[in-house]
Structure 1
């Protein structure tokens, strides 16, 4: 292989004539923008960024990196905090130019290209009175959320994002472009739904749409810390009261400008203002210091938590699980420990811990064996979104988040130790963990089948940036 400059000049030549952009470190602001990520600690200086404009150009690029043995990653929305969408010195296949969304009104389906954000899907589908299960922040990439499972406000009624996925268009490690669905390449479709980044570049997704013409009742309530026992009391009743058209997020944070600890709740009711306020009235009666709930179009719902979730700063997700009811004394202990850590470190007060009470009735109707995604059980997701500025704190933040979530998950009734893990699901949401977790931790009994399919579809482990599905080579030292 010649010099890197010569190699990428050859790639530029192969991709010329279309809208695809090949960016190198000397290309100024365009290059600098292309390596920016939602979390600053995931930003790395790639040797080349290929902003593909078509599946054909994605295929050409995959064949090229394979031929020239160039390490690479795939970037969709750039939200991953595992670092799997960034690379030092290698190549990035960047899908951000592929953001077209088309709706088939007759079939009620929504096709979204691989670089779309949820705002693209929400707004286009709304033009036709439709919606599908998306995330809770609308500048998140469709690809990452979907391939890792996808929980959203409509999960209580329609299941996970991945449960609403009808087919995908994929560029395989061979460069071949294929469609995967229940009837076409069904084993690949099984693997894509939960472990997608290990199997190819997904250049388009087709989702089942659902009628959503009415506005929804939603928004945050903010409480002072002394109201925590009463708020937890309401959360415990939510478990039995909801019918799938509601959701409630309970969070702890110290938002600016005061940087003082507060209890944040994000409410959702897919119905009228009267129905929403009636359902959440006991919570409203506790006495929030701020009530920002209102009626809003569904396509605006996933923007409710955008503030404070923008690009910039160092960020990391962490994931665990919990069951209801929760003991107020247990939640108080978690609150105290989390707030203490965040206020004792510089620039960490915007960090967030969330008890994500999204109804799981529809989720558990699908067996864990149905697809690679294995986090189905009668429990809810517990998440941290740590935010800080000092690189020297990276490891300390990571260790704190992991330890807190593990203790909280075990104390809240969901075991995560490998030898005692619940048979109903792994208790770990893949979109909230780093790629250093084992395949068994993330996929449970599905790990073995994934290993076999990895050998079939990507025998050289070209797509090696996700959770490792095949054993590492054994190095013999004499």
Structure 2
């Protein structure tokens, strides 16, 4: 990604500061960019030059008296939200990585470990307090500004600043999660993806099997010459239940494996999505959404990965093929037309990413590697149109807007009509914009 050009940073100490900041920027023709946790990957951020509104001081959380919902300020993030709720006997849908904020992912959908039961993070939004591009403050919900409520859940980055949001929360009935991590050699690739398809095809992943994450990468502690397959399974329940589902994977001879039962807040640590695994760097990245894993394509992707590892050892250090498969029942239970999120029939996310070392001449090779990986994934799904999860969008020109916001003609038309209504001067145009400047 191309980093934004931040000229000044403002940290509002109160929600009431944000309208004042926006109005000041408007009077002085200053662009503004709101940051929750700074986890943006898209190249469209590189077009920004101006003031950053940093939300890190706005992180208060409050559970309602009836225990059915909670309010979170716009700066809240998963690392704090999950234990806050857990310690009080509750859970909700959030992003799966501790690095990310709560609000940002939810505005683009928000995939996470509880979506098999409760849907996307965005599906659980009840109400939002929003500052619009002109600095006015409004309430957005099913009862107030309903049209914007539709748009904010899937394309929200285009419309306003969320200063506070009300989410559904749920009693934490499941006391432990089981994790099982496998390290396999490349000779097991076909068997692994075959079993994944049996488990996950057609969105049939059991709702309690919250997520399956995978990576193909070079692990020097295991093999310096061949990339390995690392897959981690997280199940909302005890080992006795989870391991029955995982018998086919236990039958695949692994280099090593790790497993255990832990409270839900510890699962990110066990699956390498905790704060210690967050990288702040310049990435080359590309992502796809799929319904099934094409085994022939995955072997071709592995071989392609190894060829590039040999050509570009400085990229190989951080290069990864990533795989994400979430339980999908809760997502499919929501009417696709009821929110701006368009991808309820896409069951998997895969992406390639590598860090481009500062001062190197490796950007072009990294971008070529990424583009070719994307093409190979889609070659394995010839009857499918490309689909892109907005929170993983790269901003490359070959990522068409319909792949992000949906191919139904009415979706982008409706979004653009609402854009003209709520942000006619296109002030919110730096994160995967539905229309350019």
**Does TM, normalized by the shorter one, top 0.5?**
yes
Is 1:227–2:188 an aligned residue pair? yes
How far is 1:64 from its partner? Answer: 0.8
Match of 1:127? 87
Q: Does structure 2 retain, via aligned residues, the 8 Å contact 1:364–1:376?
A: yes
Match of 2:206? 243
Q: Secondary structure at the match of 1:261?
A: strand
How far is 1:265 from its partner? Answer: 0.4
Q: Deviations over 1:125-149 (max 9, x none)?
A: 1012211112221121112211111
Q: Secondary structure at the match of 2:18?
A: helix
Picking from 292, 295, 309, the partner of 2:258 is 292
Q: Secondary structure at the match of 1:459?
A: coil
Q: Deviations over 1:199-239 (max 9, x none)?
A: 11111222111222411001421111111122112112212
Match of 2:235? 269
Match of 1:191? 151
| Long gaps (5+) in structure 1 | 1-40, 418-426, 473-478
Q: Does structure 2 retain, via aligned residues, the 8 Å contact 1:52–1:58?
A: yes
- Could you tell which deviates more after superposition, 209-218 or 167-176? 209-218
Is 1:443–2:405 an aligned residue pair? yes
Q: Does structure 2 retain, via aligned residues, the 8 Å contact 1:354–1:383?
A: yes
How far is 1:414 from its partner? Answer: 5.7
Q: Secondary structure at the match of 1:376?
A: coil
Residues in 1 aligned to 2:328 and 2:316: alpha-carbon distance in whole angstroms: 31
Picking from 179, 197, 215, the partner of 1:218 is 179
After superposition, residues 52-451 of structure 1 pair within 5 angstroms as: 52-82=12-42, 89-104=49-64, 106-213=66-173, 214-239=175-200, 242-246=205-209, 247-257=211-221, 259=224, 260-303=226-269, 304-306=271-273, 309-324=277-292, 326-345=293-312, 346-390=314-358, 391-412=360-381, 415-416=384-385, 427-435=387-395, 437-444=399-406, 445=408, 446-451=411-416
Q: Secondary structure at the match of 1:152?
A: coil
How far is 1:88 from its partner? Answer: 6.0
How far is 1:343 from its partner? Answer: 4.5
Residues in 2 aligned to 1:161 and 1:317: alpha-carbon distance in whole angstroms: 23
Residues in 2 aligned to 1:429 and 1:435: alpha-carbon distance in whole angstroms: 12
Residues in 2 aligned to 1:275 and 1:343: alpha-carbon distance in whole angstroms: 42
State the Cα RMSD in Å: 2.3
Residues in 2 aligned to 1:57 and 1:176: alpha-carbon distance in whole angstroms: 12
Aligned length: 422
Moved over 6 A (4+): none
Q: Does structure 2 retain, via aligned residues, the 8 Å contact 1:364–1:378?
A: no
Which one has a bigger Cα radius of gyration?
1
Q: Deviations over 1:77-116 (max 9, x none)?
A: 1111115667765111111121222222523213221112
Q: Secondary structure at the match of 1:55?
A: coil
Residues in 1 aligned to 2:245 and 2:68: alpha-carbon distance in whole angstroms: 30
Q: Deviations over 1:269-299 (max 9, x none)?
A: 1111111122112212212222222111111
Residues in 2 aligned to 1:471 and 1:311: alpha-carbon distance in whole angstroms: 29
Q: Does structure 2 retain, via aligned residues, the 8 Å contact 1:216–1:298?
A: yes
Q: Secondary structure at the match of 1:357?
A: strand
Match of 1:32? none
Residues in 1 aligned to 2:176 and 2:52: alpha-carbon distance in whole angstroms: 39
Normalised to the residue count of structure 2, the TM-score between the two structures is 0.89
- Relative contact order: is structure 1 or structure 2 higher (C-alpha 8 Å, sep ≥ 6)? 2
Q: Does structure 1 retain, via aligned residues, the 8 Å contact 2:12–2:54?
A: yes
Go from structure 1 to structure 2 and tell me whether the alpha carbon gap of 1:272 and 1:369 turns closer, same or farther (over 3 Å shift).
Answer: same
How far is 1:435 from its partner? Answer: 3.8
